[in-house]
């Protein structure tokens, strides 16, 4: 699974003008299930995201996790993170998981974060979503479950 993680002071996702998820301080996680992702990928990614120390401590160093600050997570599915831009001008997305599998892994990722005690809001898989955020820092981190053994 791939994730683009943004430290935010607030974030919201809307579908057809209706808010499906809104958080204050925490993380906006754009997530994409990839072809061949194993069943344990959501749990592994959730554990890494929950422990990622990108919030400032009293000394202004990035030493705290979203769990440490009692923040929330807004999870939004984004298959375009699978974009292959190596050739041509139009990205290819064939490395993304098929929709049924992608949705299952996306929902499992959100549930795994909840199991870790984090408040989680979500977008709507496959919908045309409008995402707004205030990126804090800005801090934006790329994470891929295949990058780690």
Where in the sequence numbering do the catalytic residues fall? 78-80
How far apart, in whole angstroms, are the C-alpha atoms of residue 101 and residue 90? Answer: 24
How far apart, in whole angstroms, are the C-alpha atoms of residue 31 and residue 75? Answer: 7
Residue 123 is given by DSSP the state -
| Unique residue bearing structure tokens 């919908």 | 127
How far apart, in whole angstroms, are the C-alpha atoms of residue 30 and residue 131? Answer: 10
Two tokens, residue 32? 């994409």
How far apart, in whole angstroms, are the C-alpha atoms of residue 128 and residue 8? Answer: 22
| Unique residue bearing structure tokens 């599998």 | 101
Cβ contact 6:135 at 8 Å: yes
């Amino acid at each position: 699974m791939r994730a683009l993680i943004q430290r935010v002071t607030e974030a919201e996702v809307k579908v057809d003008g209706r808010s499906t998820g809104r958080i204050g301080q925490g993380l906006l996680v754009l997530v994409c299930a990839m072809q061949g992702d194993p069943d344990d990928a959501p749990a592994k990614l959730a554990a890494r995201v929950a422990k990622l120390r990108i919030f400032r401590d009293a000394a202004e160093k990035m030493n705290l996790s979203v769990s440490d600050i009692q923040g929330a997570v807004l999870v939004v599915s984004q298959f375009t993170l699978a974009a292959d831009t190596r050739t041509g001008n139009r990205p290819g997305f064939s490395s993304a998981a098929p929709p049924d599998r992608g949705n299952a892994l996306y929902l499992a990722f959100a549930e795994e974060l909840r199991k870790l005690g984090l408040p989680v809001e979500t977008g709507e898989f496959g919908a045309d979503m409008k995402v707004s955020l205030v990126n804090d820092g800005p801090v934006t981190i790329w994470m891929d479950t295949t990058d780690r053994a």
